[in-house]
Chains A and B, each alone.
Chain A
Amino acid sequence: MPHQFSRPFAGLKEDCVYGLRQFRRRPGFSLSAIAALALGIGFSTTTFSFTDAILYRPLDIPELDRFVQVAGVDPKIERSSRALAPVDFIEFRQSARTIRELSAASLQVRNLTGVADPVQATGYSVSPEFFPSVRVQPLIGRTFLPEEFTPGRHLSVVLAHVLWRTQFGEDPGVLGRSIEIDGQKHTIVGVMPEGFRFPRAVEYWTPLALNSSQWAFAGDYLECYGRLASGATLEQARAEFNAIAARLASRYPTTHRGIGARVDLLRERVSGDLTATYTRLTAGAVLFLLLIACANVANLQLARVLGRVREVAIRASVGAGSYPILRQILVESVMLSAAGALLGLPVAAWTLALMKAAMPPEIERYLPGWQRMGLNTEVLLATAVTAVGAGVLAGFGPAWWLSRRSVSAGLAESSRAATSGGSRKLRSALVIGETALAVVLLAGAALMVKGFRSLAAVQLNSDPDRLLVWNISLPESKYSSVEKVREFHRALLAEAASAPALSSVALLADLPYSDSSSSRYFSIEGRPAPAGPPDVAQWQPASSRLFSTLGIPLLEGRGIAESDVPGALEIAVVSRQFARRFFPGQPAIGKRIRLQRGEWITIAGIVADTRHDSVERRPRPVIYRPYAQAPPQSAWFVVDAGPNPAQFAPAVRAAIRRIDPSQPVARLQTYRRLVNNHVTGFAYISSMLGALGLVALFLSILGVYSLMASAVGERTRETGIRMALGATAGEVLLAVLRRGALLAASGLLIGLAAALAAARFLAQVLFGVSATGPAVFTAVPAALALSLLLACLIPARGAASTGPVTALREE
């Protein structure tokens, strides 16, 4: 034996030539194996590039793996991630040893003027450490100088490539010119290269210039980034930052009580918790698919090596050993999977192109890395490894089985006897395993699709096709007082309502499903402050027609009235959940609440709960306030404009221009479109999982079919004998179906047990997915059983139609 291993690769070329000959001799076999692998590998490749782009390289930043985001955690809130206060940042920057180059950034939505049309733009005000820590050089010009962080000398701006292109036509002479951000002139000092998104896609960066009292502020609005110090681990950083957070909490009890710190790898944070989980699960689903494809190919290979049992035995009897033939089998399966991979690449390229093309741009900007999904070197490498792995995996079973045949048994066996016993068991086990995997994958996919559908099922009391919505963010520089803000909103409501079609126009701070929301801490009259962070509720300044326009029923008391103006009684309308949570078993109306050190607000009414976004488990408590008493700097407007609301967009623009020609309007669209964009991500994952499930179904049907077809072929003689002994065609058909049903049932049972366990796991890690789905757990096995029986029916009918004469005329 040893001498065969001394030159393990001698004759590899002959193996390949021989393998090619096998392909040509049995093209049907080879094609179905290649098709199974092309699907398995193609979808793996798609998922590789998806995962690579979303999870591992969402940002094009050097050493992204060491980049972390630091945030606060309110233990009372699920998946809580709070901004930091300037005092926190100062403290973290001074004390932290595990994270270096900490930088702070404050996200802001501002109006850009002094360019073409006024537009709303998103930018970051960043601390001095920000650009140096990122280590990306500007395309032209420079980033900020140290002195530009002094208040008064801070009016510089670095443009993102997208803004440079859309507003300045990529004019290199833009340096030194200025743009107005909320009416303040800023000098353009640099332009960042295309694709630079840090920490997310924005349109400009300005210096964060705070004076000493602003730095001492304990209100939270800063995002915080940094690099793990060399040698420091994420765990160490978490421990250190939580210790610092505990110190801060005791120093600032009113604002920081109970607030901890969280440190996460930036690449996991940029895509958001949910996206990361979904992406990992998709990768898991694809692994299942790949295993199913491998089981398929192993089965086909096994059918093929059966014909060579005698060859191996003869070779072994003359001392050849089984290594060459084992290698031959492995070479053949690797060749098959290489062919599958080659065919899988176009599948992957096509799927990726489809995914990219179908993603609306307004969503895509929140998915860093999306456009960089592609068949890059890493992905191709992973595909190659997968292909070789799949080939070895698929060839290993047959090769192992063959190597365990004893020489004498192999020689004694006629080809028909060789099909009995071990190999048949192994092949049945493969099909059972494959079916079980398919059940798990299908049930998992179905549960997740069901979960996503319930998430994506937007709950509205009004018809989103009739509503036109838009957002106005008033710059604080120009609208510097509550009076000015109130006056703008009042004027716009009046101006819009003067057009008869827009008479139902209403205002609120944060539109449901718009991905924006804000909350306030409050206290209740006559109650001690709770231990831990103060009570919190969503804060919704709104106008009088809001409840009727959005169809939110009034349950008790009164709604918001035109007369709720400053100087009148300060009132609030609260949601049912608010009343239940904070005034259980007692009337809420007439009770008083207040924001920190604010005026007392009397609860005047209770309205029904609404859903604000898809990932909300329970309705949250909401405080609605008359906008005139609490004017929001940024507000949404919503109007029921009949069956074709989009036609009124120009009228809305004109109304805004009449009030303030420099004020841009953002996200002017039908509510239907806004809501659809909100659920696009869910639709994506759903269709991806649905596709994976269908491919798994197809592959397992293919597996059962080919097993039954070859089993029937092997049993032609037996079938003939049985018919000669009196079996009818019907009995032969039933016997084949029974065998198939037994295989299918075993696979289904094992799969069902595994699927139930998998479901419990899914429900734990995935919001919106429930572990119990009676419909899923009956429909999936039923559908699979039916398809598998159909897959058996074709070979079974073939068996039943062979007469004993043909079957027995072998000698």
Chain B
Amino acid sequence: MISLRNLDKFYQQGPDRFYVLRRINLDIREGEFVAIMGPSGAGKSTLLHVIGMHDTAWTGEYTLLGHQVHKLDRKRRMELYKKYFGFVFQSYHLLDDLTVAENLDVPLGYRDIRKSERQAMVADMLDRFRIVGKKDLYPNQLSGGQQQLVAVARAIIANPKVILADEPTGNLHSSQGLEIMELFKQLNEDGATIVMVTHSETNAAYAHRIIQIADGWIESGANAA
């Protein structure tokens, strides 16, 4: 499903090139649950954003479900992203001025979906995550775990094929973290492909495969076993 070939990413600092990702070769199959691990500053988040096509300044080849991403312009890449990906962040990144329900509606607003249908999808999601009672609250009225729950719900509401998660439990208590991981497991079993960056061995244990990365190089786990 996702295939990276000889992918390099660097920051130009004066005359020096500072490589963040180096000769990345990586394959992820549909329905897989992979964890990316490695020390801080290794390039994990960068890799996730490259896969999520937020980061376009790299060289190499990236194929997504037959689309040659490296040959597409920014606009086409964004379309692909919109179609296939959902993103979960370490610090949730809910919109402070919007209620829970409104936050869930945001991704739908950027897709061609009718208003009535959107309302139904939001209600459905609130139901599924058992947060109906919180739908009119603002993010700062929720605990961290609840906020991340909403963030996950928001990431999957538009039915993405791939969920990208950057340390989704990094700011949570272990019990709250566990709840999120169980949720991911469920989503994966329902067919979603999950690529998750994590520091936690416990969380990594939920994955089918662990990709180790250090100093921009993949150390192990580049291919499915």
Q: Are B97 and A726 in contact (CB under 8 A)?
A: no
> A561 on the interface (CB 8 Å rule)?
no
In whole angstroms, how far apart are the Cα atoms of A775 and B111 in the complex? 42
A724 and B87 in contact, given A731-B110, A805-B54 (Cβ under 8 angstroms): yes
Q: Are A803 and B55 in contact (CB under 8 A)?
A: yes
In whole angstroms, how far apart are the Cα atoms of A811 and B93 in the complex? 11
> B78 on the interface (CB 8 Å rule)?
yes
Q: Are A724 and B93 in contact (CB under 8 A)?
A: yes
Residue of A nearest to B90 (CB): A811
In whole angstroms, how far apart are the Cα atoms of A150 and B63 in the complex? 116
Q: Are B95 and A718 in contact (CB under 8 A)?
A: yes
> How does the 8 Å CB contact mask read for B198-220 relative to A, with 1 for contact and 0 for none?
00000000000000000000000
> A727 on the interface (CB 8 Å rule)?
yes
Select one of B75, B90, B107 contacting A725, CB under 8 A.
B107
Task: Determine the chain A residues whose CB is within 8 A of the CB of B158 once the complex forms.
Answer: 726
Tell me how far the C-beta of A589 lies from the nearest C-beta in chain B, rounded to whole angstroms: 80
Residue of A nearest to B97 (CB): A420
Task: Determine the chain B residues whose CB is within 8 A of the CB of A808 once the complex forms.
Answer: 89, 93
Tell me how far the C-beta of B38 lies from the nearest C-beta in chain A, rounded to whole angstroms: 17
Tell me how far the C-beta of A162 lies from the nearest C-beta in chain B, rounded to whole angstroms: 72
Q: Are B106 and A722 in contact (CB under 8 A)?
A: yes
In whole angstroms, how far apart are the Cα atoms of A527 and B91 in the complex? 99
A723 and B54 in contact, given A728-B75, A808-B89 (Cβ under 8 angstroms): yes
A417 and B140 in contact, given A804-B54, A805-B55, A808-B93 (Cβ under 8 angstroms): yes
Select one of B52, B87, B90, B110 contacting A728, CB under 8 A.
B110
In whole angstroms, how far apart are the Cα atoms of A722 and B96 in the complex? 12
> B134 on the interface (CB 8 Å rule)?
no
> B154 on the interface (CB 8 Å rule)?
yes
Closest 7 CB pairs of A and B: A726-B110, A726-B82, A725-B107, A804-B54, A721-B93, A724-B87, A805-B54
Q: Are B93 and A805 in contact (CB under 8 A)?
A: no
> A717 on the interface (CB 8 Å rule)?
yes
Select one of A717, A720, A727, A811 contacting B110, CB under 8 A.
A727
Task: Determine the chain B residues whose CB is within 8 A of the CB of A726 once the complex forms.
Answer: 78, 81-82, 107, 110-111, 158
Q: Are A724 and B96 in contact (CB under 8 A)?
A: no
Tell me the B65-106 residues at the A interface (CB within 8 Å): 74-75, 78, 81-82, 87, 89-91, 93-97, 106
A selection of 20 A-B contacts at a CB cut-off of 8 Å is A417-B96, A420-B96, A718-B95, A721-B93, A722-B110, A723-B54, A724-B54, A724-B89, A724-B93, A726-B78, A726-B110, A726-B111, A726-B158, A727-B110, A728-B75, A729-B75, A729-B78, A804-B49, A805-B49, A805-B55
Where chain A touches its partner, the secondary structure class is helix
Q: Are B78 and A728 in contact (CB under 8 A)?
A: yes
Task: Determine the chain B residues whose CB is within 8 A of the CB of A731 once the complex forms.
Answer: 110
Q: Are B87 and A811 in contact (CB under 8 A)?
A: no
Tell me how far the C-beta of B110 lies from the nearest C-beta in chain A, rounded to whole angstroms: 4
Q: Are A721 and B81 in contact (CB under 8 A)?
A: no
Q: Are A725 and B110 in contact (CB under 8 A)?
A: yes
Task: Determine the chain A residues whose CB is within 8 A of the CB of B45 once the complex forms.
Answer: 809
Chain B, interface size category, equals: 20 to 34
Tell me the B2-45 residues at the A interface (CB within 8 Å): 45
Residue of B nearest to A727 (CB): B110
In whole angstroms, how far apart are the Cα atoms of A722 and B82 in the complex? 11
Tell me how far the C-beta of B169 lies from the nearest C-beta in chain A, rounded to whole angstroms: 14
Task: Determine the chain A residues whose CB is within 8 A of the CB of B81 once the complex forms.
Answer: 726
A803 and B54 in contact, given A417-B140, A808-B89 (Cβ under 8 angstroms): yes
Task: Determine the chain A residues whose CB is within 8 A of the CB of B94 once the complex forms.
Answer: 721
Task: Determine the chain B residues whose CB is within 8 A of the CB of A803 once the complex forms.
Answer: 54-56
A721 and B95 in contact, given A726-B111, A728-B75, A805-B49 (Cβ under 8 angstroms): yes
Tell me the A766-811 residues at the B interface (CB within 8 Å): 803-805, 808-809, 811
In whole angstroms, how far apart are the Cα atoms of A265 and B59 in the complex? 84
Assuming A720-B93, A726-B82, what are 10 further A-B pairs, CB within 8 angstroms? A718-B95, A722-B106, A724-B52, A725-B110, A725-B154, A726-B158, A729-B78, A808-B89, A808-B93, A811-B91
Tell me how far the C-beta of B25 lies from the nearest C-beta in chain A, rounded to whole angstroms: 22
Task: Determine the chain A residues whose CB is within 8 A of the CB of B154 once the complex forms.
Answer: 725
Residue of A nearest to B98 (CB): A718
In whole angstroms, how far apart are the Cα atoms of A811 and B82 in the complex? 24
Tell me how far the C-beta of B150 lies from the nearest C-beta in chain A, rounded to whole angstroms: 13
Residue of A nearest to B158 (CB): A726
> How does the 8 Å CB contact mask read for B126-150 relative to A, with 1 for contact and 0 for none?
0000000000000010000000000
Select one of B75, B78, B93 contacting A717, CB under 8 A.
B93
In whole angstroms, how far apart are the Cα atoms of A633 and B90 in the complex? 99
In whole angstroms, how far apart are the Cα atoms of A504 and B87 in the complex? 92
Task: Determine the chain A residues whose CB is within 8 A of the CB of B96 once the complex forms.
Answer: 416-417, 420
Task: Determine the chain B residues whose CB is within 8 A of the CB of A809 once the complex forms.
Answer: 45
Task: Determine the chain B residues whose CB is within 8 A of the CB of A417 once the complex forms.
Answer: 96, 140
Tell me how far the C-beta of A725 lies from the nearest C-beta in chain B, rounded to whole angstroms: 4
Q: Are A725 and B106 in contact (CB under 8 A)?
A: yes
Tell me how far the C-beta of B51 lies from the nearest C-beta in chain A, rounded to whole angstroms: 12
Scoring A720, A722, A724 by chain B CB atoms within 10 A of each residue's CB, the highest score goes to: A724
Tell me how far the C-beta of B88 lies from the nearest C-beta in chain A, rounded to whole angstroms: 10
In whole angstroms, how far apart are the Cα atoms of A417 and B140 in the complex? 10
Task: Determine the chain B residues whose CB is within 8 A of the CB of A721 once the complex forms.
Answer: 93-95
Tell me the A723-759 residues at the B interface (CB within 8 Å): 723-729, 731
Task: Determine the chain A residues whose CB is within 8 A of the CB of B111 once the complex forms.
Answer: 726
> How does the 8 Å CB contact mask read for A710-721 relative to B, with 1 for contact and 0 for none?
000000011011
In whole angstroms, how far apart are the Cα atoms of A717 and B139 in the complex? 15
Residue of A nearest to B160 (CB): A726
In whole angstroms, how far apart are the Cα atoms of A752 and B214 in the complex? 63
Scoring A416, A721, A725 by chain B CB atoms within 10 A of each residue's CB, the highest score goes to: A725
> How does the 8 Å CB contact mask read for A687-729 relative to B, with 1 for contact and 0 for none?
0000000000000000000000000000001101111111111
In whole angstroms, how far apart are the Cα atoms of A678 and B111 in the complex? 67
Task: Determine the chain A residues whose CB is within 8 A of the CB of B106 once the complex forms.
Answer: 722, 725
Tell me how far the C-beta of B148 lies from the nearest C-beta in chain A, rounded to whole angstroms: 14
Residue of A nearest to B157 (CB): A725
In whole angstroms, how far apart are the Cα atoms of A717 and B87 in the complex? 15
Task: Determine the chain A residues whose CB is within 8 A of the CB of B56 once the complex forms.
Answer: 803
Task: Determine the chain B residues whose CB is within 8 A of the CB of A720 once the complex forms.
Answer: 93
Tell me the A627-675 residues at the B interface (CB within 8 Å): none
Residue of B nearest to A419 (CB): B96
Task: Determine the chain B residues whose CB is within 8 A of the CB of A724 once the complex forms.
Answer: 52, 54, 87, 89, 93
Residue of B nearest to A413 (CB): B140
Tell me how far the C-beta of B5 lies from the nearest C-beta in chain A, rounded to whole angstroms: 22
Task: Determine the chain A residues whose CB is within 8 A of the CB of B78 once the complex forms.
Answer: 726, 728-729
Tell me the A378-421 residues at the B interface (CB within 8 Å): 416-417, 420
In whole angstroms, how far apart are the Cα atoms of A727 and B95 in the complex? 14
Scoring A726, A727, A805, A809 by chain B CB atoms within 10 A of each residue's CB, the highest score goes to: A726
Task: Determine the chain B residues whose CB is within 8 A of the CB of A805 once the complex forms.
Answer: 49, 54-55
Task: Determine the chain B residues whose CB is within 8 A of the CB of A811 once the complex forms.
Answer: 90-91
In whole angstroms, how far apart are the Cα atoms of A420 and B140 in the complex? 13
Residue of A nearest to B48 (CB): A805
Residue of B nearest to A720 (CB): B93
Residue of A nearest to B46 (CB): A805
Residue of A nearest to B82 (CB): A726
Tell me how far the C-beta of A139 lies from the nearest C-beta in chain B, rounded to whole angstroms: 76
In whole angstroms, how far apart are the Cα atoms of A416 and B93 in the complex? 12
In whole angstroms, how far apart are the Cα atoms of A502 and B107 in the complex? 86
Task: Determine the chain A residues whose CB is within 8 A of the CB of B110 once the complex forms.
Answer: 722, 725-728, 731
In whole angstroms, how far apart are the Cα atoms of A620 and B93 in the complex? 77
In whole angstroms, how far apart are the Cα atoms of A725 and B94 in the complex? 11
Task: Determine the chain B residues whose CB is within 8 A of the CB of A416 once the complex forms.
Answer: 96
In whole angstroms, how far apart are the Cα atoms of A728 and B112 in the complex? 13
Tell me how far the C-beta of A547 lies from the nearest C-beta in chain B, rounded to whole angstroms: 75
In whole angstroms, how far apart are the Cα atoms of A808 and B95 in the complex? 13
Scoring B45, B56, B87, B94 by chain A CB atoms within 10 A of each residue's CB, the highest score goes to: B87
In whole angstroms, how far apart are the Cα atoms of A774 and B49 in the complex? 55
Tell me how far the C-beta of A17 lies from the nearest C-beta in chain B, rounded to whole angstroms: 36
Tell me the B109-126 residues at the A interface (CB within 8 Å): 110-111
